[in-house]
Amino acid sequence: MLGVIGGSGIYDLPGLENAEWKTVESPWGTPSDQVRIGEVDGLKVVFLPRHGRGHVYSPTDINYHANIDVMKRCGVTDLVSVSACGSLKEELAPGTFVLVEQFIDRTFARPKSYFGNGCVAHVSMAYPVSPRLIDHVEAAARAETLAYRRGGTYLAMEGPQFSSLAESHMYRSWGCDVIGMTNMPEAKLAREAEICYATIAMVTDYDSWHPEHGEVDIQAIIKVLNDNAHNAQRLVARLARDLPREHEPCPIGSDTALEYALMTAPDKRDPALMAKLDAVAGRILNR
């Protein structure tokens, strides 16, 4: 089952057959919105607008835990994040789709794990993106003749303010390619939930480092957002049509990330936390 989380500018997913908005409750609180569940050529697709319809949640205020949890409860096995971002590289012009493979997490005001006191777990984040899922995303981008680049590092900042000039130059010196505010802790939580994850980072503008662009221009961003949204819908539709109807095992173990991750002895685990983890960690807890 394919899940799609839509970022800024993407609050619906046209083209779904037999689609309906559905409320899915989560023990982790209220997700950003209802989920829109439908089909594309027989493949079930679940869509969630990350900021809510009408863009009501800032990056810091998004309930990432609930969002990933409801995706898991809906049966999502492969999750694509479609996210607006700024460019840190000259060659990544506005309108380019970057198929990110790595992240640097600079957020600081968000809880980042489903685990902690009551049940400790450690999952590997060395390779946060499922390469097989990215293969399918790339094939869809190529088929739709979209401007894209595979690979690169996404710098996740806290926001909601954009970066200062000094910060922008620092992130460039680190070798980062794009900068955004929402893919962390989303990618970490998807990994803990054993969902294969991939990011389509849609470049809206150059970050403040660029000498010819200077300050981030919100009006210019909105225009590119609208153009990107149309192309993103084309890309997701193609991905859904071409995605194999049987889930393929992830070569980096995204779908088995909890196999040896839980550290707390069963008799020391908090029952209340275990109840909340029924979907996220159900494969491990129920066997």
CA dist., res. 157 & res. 57, Å (int): 16
Structure tokens belonging to residue 100: 């990110």
Per-residue model confidence (pLDDT) at position 210: 87
At 2-13, the pLDDT tens digits run 999 999 889 999
CA dist., res. 3 & res. 247, Å (int): 13
207 is in an annotated binding site: yes
230 is in an annotated binding site: no
* Residue 228 confidence class, pLDDT cut points 50, 70, 90: confident
| Residues labelled catalytic | 205, 207
* Residue 215 confidence class, pLDDT cut points 50, 70, 90: low
173 is in an annotated binding site: no
Domain-wise residue ranges, the chain: 2-285
Average pLDDT over residues 85-103: 96
DSSP class of residue 255? G
CA dist., res. 112 & res. 248, Å (int): 27
At 270-285, the pLDDT tens digits run 999 999 999 999 999 9
State the architecture of 2-285 in CATH terms. 3-Layer(aba) Sandwich (3.40)
205 is in an annotated binding site: yes
41 is in an annotated binding site: no
Q: Is the pTM of this model over 0.85?
A: yes
Output Rg (C-alpha) for the chain, integer angstroms: 18
Residues 6+ apart with CB under 8 A from 263: 120, 121, 122
DSSP class of residue 266? G
CB of 37 within 8 A of CB of 24?
no
Looking at every residue in the chain, the average pLDDT score rounds to 95
